[in-house]
Structure 1
């Protein structure tokens, strides 16, 4: 699928109401063919910190997997440039109660990375700062904000006639509302190519074939060369939201997503809404898959007790056979290993039809905002302005020039030998950059205003180094060429498109509304019940117990207010369906 440069301004589809209406302006770089704006060779914050007082800000961050002070090379970078210290609060680490406690106190934090629905709650409470005038005075953010906002959905005009800017959507892209730029879907079957080839690379027609292949690999490759046990499937609880996260994403393999902000439904590309507890739901199909896997001895026994950090360690050591997030490959794959045919690759299953959201042209479901009681908001805006500058983008996505990457003769970039493995190896960083391990010191913000699928104005290539021409050329290794020969495709996305095995739907960024206190309470109880029962079903002793737990869950959630929450979620799904149709019509 081609990546076309967009010549029209990026539109935002995020509005907030409940008494205080707000439209959040979106950000994007210029077209691939546009020259960089003049006077931008220097980034903000380079004047030094000699006249700045030290400032420690609280970053309330739904995206973070780490809680505490940002240290390491990124911490030093921010300290040197802005005399800022970032103290991160992470609900994924501390639990959802953190949000409730801090909002009850009237101060969530200084810099906020929050969900759209939370923004809707915080605005009428007076806890979000109006950024309109401050952004007008910035060097970089002001380029990407459309001050003459034309809402994607005309209905938003009525609820925000002034077009004020209260927050900035995350991960905005520079492509189009219907383009998917990545070489592999966000969630699809991924396995080690050498192990899969080692059992004869059997064709996978369905999930049962996948389990058989995993069993064969488990028997042939029980441990890593240094003796660490290899597990076919590993699960973890700490990312569970409205339902079991590890179940949610495998549902996408068969065309159904679990829309963010909903608990009770699954939605496909045609707009069909299926209750999560329907006997034919994809949620039940994936639970059954995991249950059968556990009965075959394929599920990591650590799953009920381990957290994501332990899983990441296993991925780095190549101790897991089945991956399903595209980015999980980065924990092990390197160009050097690829030259030896070693690495994790997509292994398509014939009966799948993947549901894939397009590039986040309008942004994703979270935003950057500033708390109304923030300390020195101008300094925070300056920091955010730098984040979206070419320099800030390069540091976040690719580390240090000269250490992680270098310029080529044609003015583009290529990874250095160190840069190719710095993340996987947690390579020591030179003291001049802050010392410590590279992975340890990466930005713990774990979110971006603009995605790495934005064009660097100096190179004309995406900030994402996987798509640099130098990387693509270097990646012509045994691993990639063997895969291409086996599947007669350039990459997994190309394969799925050629074989009519993928539905790419517009990535809609809008507020789906916030729950009333009654619905919120019912949703919380239902979510907890569904998550807990899901885990019990996977580890049920036999099929009878699995079925009994399912039937009991179906009955019990009705008593918890399922019908009311389902009605709310169905209304939200209808909004998504409508906006997707409009996005397709607008391309």
Structure 2
């Protein structure tokens, strides 16, 4: 990629290879390379509907509600979301649309293999001619250059970019992972010390006995699982490994500091340890029997109803259950201090996260889409658009406002939305339930922890002093008194030395070759099938038999070749982390 200035006037060489580049897309070879300004009043342009392919979206159809209205008012544009997660999951929808030569007008896909094949297939537009006038993206130019390195233009824009050091945690007040449990029930049984993951089981059993039924009369379970996010392995069996500093890369669990790499099917791996944990929990009657058939949404509703007592993510237990009313009663999810934990943290990504934004080569109005993308990086855009698991404060005037002291604070409506379980949006903002109007793109362009330069405060409202002062309640005060006075989970983990940060290097593993891909697909299907059976095995003998069967079956399907590939990638990832930490500090 050329520099920002040069990219705006880039002229790609017209060689035979153009048949494989984005320049060969609709209008590609004849398209002018003259710089074009995107600075105009798009609200007066003709209305258009834009097909948005988002690999992260959990909604399919026209973006509605307050975010849809903002986009319509500013750009006279409606977003038609195309979501593989809703259309059956997997790569089927992606592959079908790519084969048809049109993934979408605006695309959100993985960088690396997907971005590369879209460029080579002519499905991404070179946005060089618009880039110089994209003023809101300008502060993140190094990330844009890094993303497009080796290409002949600007084909993608990074997400989750940050101005923070890569060795600083990217998370806000809560880590990405952690053992979050119903703190009120934990207190009811006397706050017993928990030394290891396995020691958590008798504690959960006591908690479940203390409240065998939820408020809606349904049975309470310590643990509830779901399968629609399973990928290379059973996703909920990977999560406990993060408490000990590991994250996944293919079939490998890699330590954040590069000190260890594990094959997930090894008998002593953290993955198999988690399967044993779930098996033991099920033998004790602690696992929701509907786990094998329910999806994430069904499980989430159970958390909302108080039917589940343990969550591996703060944005599951806390966001579902911790309403302002319940916390005032001392009820809610809080982080459990495990004596031996070293919780994995993602360092801030100097070069952005794993997804990219791009303009489809067949887009009807690429100039307007470039303006929309640029807006998504503006303070207003970042506040309005965010992922569903780690969000910003929403639009000014609706969910937040500046006080007389110049400091941002949630409005009464904002408190209803974020602390009281939701609210209906006023008609002038688009109407409907607030949660139904949240951006279906499901990405952060800028890390919510970063500072909004217009208000000199983070994009995430959870950092605002006004918020922290207003949400002190019996639940948080009790938790704080038990963890040495820390007021946030991240403060506790950092002070206690129980956090390990993997520097944000924006590493992307190389694509699987055809043989590796075929072997991976067969092996992971066997691993997932056996994993679920192991959790619900009738006894320990059956568990061990299934473990041996999983190992033998996976190895017979080419697992070892894929593992060797993944191990090399995990080590390369660590090298990139060490390099970015050395360069940026």
TM-score tier, shorter chain, comes to 0.7 to 0.9
Q: Distance in 2 between matches of 1:479 and 1:349?
A: 19
Of residues 512, 515, 534 in structure 1, which corresponds to 2:512? 515
The higher-RCO structure (CA 8 Å, 6+ apart) is: 1
Alpha carbons of structure 1 residues 450 and 299: separation in structure 2 relative to 1, 3 Å:
same
SS in 2 for 1:435: coil
- Report if the CA contact (8 A) 1:64-1:445 is conserved: yes
> What is the Cα deviation at residue 576 of structure 1?
0.7
Question: Structure 1 residues 46 and 209 mapped into 2: Cα distance closer, same or farther (>3 Å)?
Answer: farther
Q: 1:357-380 deviations in whole A, cap 9, x for unaligned?
A: 212333111111122222211111
Moved more, 262-271 or 283-292: 262-271
Matches within 5 A, 1:303-322: 303-322=291-310
Does residue 354 (structure 1) correspond to residue 339 (structure 2)? The answer is no
Deviations 1:166-201, CA, capped at 9 Å, x for gaps? 211211122111111522221110012211111111
2:278 equivalent in structure 1 = 290
1: CA distance between counterparts of 2:245 and 2:394?
36
Structure 2 CA distance, aligned partners of 1:125 and 1:246?
Answer: 35
Question: What is the CA distance between 1:265 and its match in structure 2?
Answer: 4.6
Residues 351, 146 of structure 1: CA spacing in aligned structure 2 closer, same or farther, 3 A cutoff?
closer
Q: Which residue of 1 aligns with 2:97?
A: 102
Answer whether contact 1:233 1:300 (CA < 8 A) is retained: yes
Q: Aligned Cα RMSD in Å?
A: 2.4
Is 1:579–2:568 an aligned residue pair? no
Matches within 5 A, 1:535-550: 535-550=532-547
CA displacement, residues 44-103 of structure 1 (integer Å, 9 cap, x when unaligned) = 999463x42221111111111122221122122212221212111222222221112112
Q: TM-score, normalised by structure 2?
A: 0.87
State which of 426, 431, 434 in structure 1 corresponds to 2:430: 434
More moved, 264-273 vs 183-192? 264-273
1:130 maps to 126
Cα drift, residue 465 of structure 1: 0.5
Counterpart Cα distance in 2 of 1:84 and 1:342? 43
Q: Does 1:174 align with 2:163?
A: yes
Match of residue 463, structure 1, among 459, 466, 491:
459
How many residues of Structure 1 are paired with residues of Structure 2 in the alignment? 539
Once the two structures are TM-superposed, the CA of residue 500 in structure 1 deviates from its matched residue by 2.7
The reply to whether residue 90 of structure 1 matches residue 79 of structure 2 is no
Distance 2:382 2:484 in 1: 35
1:54 is matched with: 47
Give deviations 1:556-585, integer Å, cap 9, x for gaps.
111211122112111211211101111222
CA 128–510 in structure 1, closer or farther in 2 if over 3 Å, else same: farther
Q: 1:438: how far off?
A: 0.6
Structure 2: how far apart are the matches of 1:273 and 1:207? 20
Q: 1: distance between equivalents of 2:454 and 2:324?
A: 25
Report 1:190-201 matches (<5 A): 190-201=180-191
Instruction: Provide the residue aligned with 2:376 in structure 1.
Output: 387
Offset at 1:468?
Answer: 0.9
Query: What pairs up with 1:273-288 in 2 under 5 angstroms?
Result: 273-288=261-276
State the partner residue of 1:236. 226
Query: Distance in 1 between the 2:290 and 2:187 partners?
Result: 27
**Structure 2 partner of 1:345:** 334
Closer/same/farther in 2, CA of residues 231 and 417 from structure 1, 3 Å limit: farther
- SS at 2:290 equivalent: coil
Runs of 5+ consecutive residues of structure 2 not aligned to the other structure: 5-16, 22-37, 386-391
1:112 equivalenced with 2:101 (yes/no): no
Cα distance per residue 1:135-181 (max 9 Å; x no partner)? 212231234324994x59xxx97x45x5x322112111221111115
Report whether the alignment pairs 1:552 with 2:527.
no
- Deviation track 1:94-116 (CA, whole Å, cap 9, x = no partner) reads 22211121122222111111112
Matched, 1:121 2:117: yes
Partner residue, 2:30: none
Distance 1:192 1:57, change over 3 A: same
Q: Secondary structure at the match of 1:425?
A: coil
Q: Which runs of 5+ in 1 are unaligned?
A: 1-8, 10-18, 23-43
Q: CA deviation at 1:455?
A: 0.9
- Tell me, yes or no, if the aligned pair for 2:144 and 2:158 is still in contact at 8 Å: no
Per the alignment, residue 476 of structure 1 pairs with: 472
Distance in 1 between residues matched to 2:209 and 2:157, nearest whole Å: 50
Matched, 1:78 2:67: no
CA deviation vs aligned residue, 1:285-342 (integer Å, no higher than 9, x gap) = 0111111111111111121111111122122222210011122212222445433322
Cα distance between partner residues in 2 of 1:404 and 1:148: 31
1-structure distance, mates of 2:515, 2:41: 52
CA distance in 1, matches of 2:108, 2:563: 27
Q: 1:469 to 1:305 in 2, by over 3 A?
A: same
Q: CA deviation at 1:413?
A: 1.0
1:506-547: per-residue Cα shift (whole Å, max 9, x none)?
Answer: 122132111112211111111211111111111111111111
The aligned residue for residue 497 of structure 1 is: 494
